[in-house]
Chain A
Amino acid sequence: GAGVSQTPSNKVTEKGKYVELRCDPISGHTALYWYRQSLGQGPEFLIYFQGTGAADDSGLPNDRFFAVRPEGSVSTLKIQRTERGDSAVYLCASSSDGMNTGELFFGEGSRLTVL
């Protein structure tokens, strides 16, 4: 499809495990964002890529979280030593103009559950 694609759609893991979440943005979109959303809350900013570089990673909660976008398209969010508090829906979004119009196109999210 032409939208933002995220995999897996659901991930259940045990505390302490390593997790990777993948995002395939809309073709041609140079800006890519990761957010996470907990129940009853709005999306919380994690990191923003412009091309291959992380232009703003101020939302990453700690050094267990890391994201890459090596070729300026697909991005992977990596979480080490997962904790129960990491359970949330991780949303990826892309845009063509780095937020100038405010329109981010979100994927359906990856629901992470840490037991």
Chain B
Amino acid sequence: RKEVEQDPGPFNVPEGATVAFNCTYSNSASQSFFWYRQDCRKEPKLLMSVYSSGNEDGRFTAQLNRASQYISLLIRDSKLSDSATYLCVVNWVSGSARQLTFGSGTQLTVLP
């Protein structure tokens, strides 16, 4: 079983739609959580952190449920420029060891 699992996708949605991605993680010792965005043949870039209380950044809302080990990302009013792969990322720290573990990603295509 993968440590971080995401919706397989791909998601193809029209401009203006609302789309939600889900992610589950298996390591209960995970300490912090993030969404990264990766454009085709480009490097991943941090989109936003995910907090237990939920957090919003413009059209993007992230939620964390520690009890269920579940993370979500909601995108409202989708734009063509939102087309990318969204990577769910989990961080754990143990002594000197630190790892950001990435999910396989969910591909989003926003259609005109």
Contact = CB atoms under 8 A, between A and B. Distances in A.
Interface in A47-65: 48, 50, 55-56, 58-59
A35 B102 CA distance: 10
A31 B99 CA distance: 12
Given A42-B103, A58-B97, A99-B98, A108 B42 contact: yes
Given A42-B87, A99-B91, A102-B91, A56 B46 contact: no
A79 interface: no
Interface string A71-92: 0000000000000000000010
Contacts of B34: 102
B93 A99 contact: yes
A102 B43 contact: no
Chain A interface size range: 20 to 34
Nearest to B35: A102
Interface residues of B, number: 24
In order of increasing CB-CB distance, the 4 nearest A-B pairs are A42-B102, A106-B43, A56-B97, A55-B96
A104 interface: yes
Summarize A's interface: helix, strand, loop or mixed.
loop
A2 B80 CA distance: 29
Given A42-B87, A45-B99, A59-B99, A102 B44 contact: no
Contacts of A35: 102
B104 interface: yes
A102 B100 contact: yes
B66 interface: no
Given A41-B104, A42-B105, A102 B96 contact: no
A109 to B, nearest CB: 6
A35 B43 CA distance: 11
